[in-house]
Chain A
């Protein structure tokens, strides 16, 4: 099955700086890579995803990059704001896209 590793487990950045979270996956057949954000007291929510036919995708201050050869993908948050403080999870599909395997999560803290 799929194995997803995520780093770092915790990350603190000054407000306005950039944050980068990295994930690696094991199944070269995986073709869809979502990122979920979990705010305090809530369930995770999809914030961005990328498919294997593109190398980068942006949505305002958030971007995701994918390196299929190296089997890793990263979440980039620019101009961080206090509301970016949350736990972020990467994921990759397994079982033919029927389920997701999640990374272990990154707790991001934005320091005002």
Chain B
């Protein structure tokens, strides 16, 4: 079983829509969780860390469910510029980081 599993999509949504991505992880000892954004042919960039209590940054909300071992990313009021691939990243003990396959989002005018 993969360390991190993520629906690759693609998700095609109209501007202004709300879209949510989920990511499940297999190691219950996982310590840190992140969402990254990767634009085409560029390196991934940190979008936000995911905290146990949930956290929000503008239109983006990240949540962690340790009992069910998943993290989620919610994007409200989608913009054209949100089109990208979103990667979830999980840090397990031993300082190992594992990536999901990425979820492709296209926001349509």
Are A and B physically bound partners? no
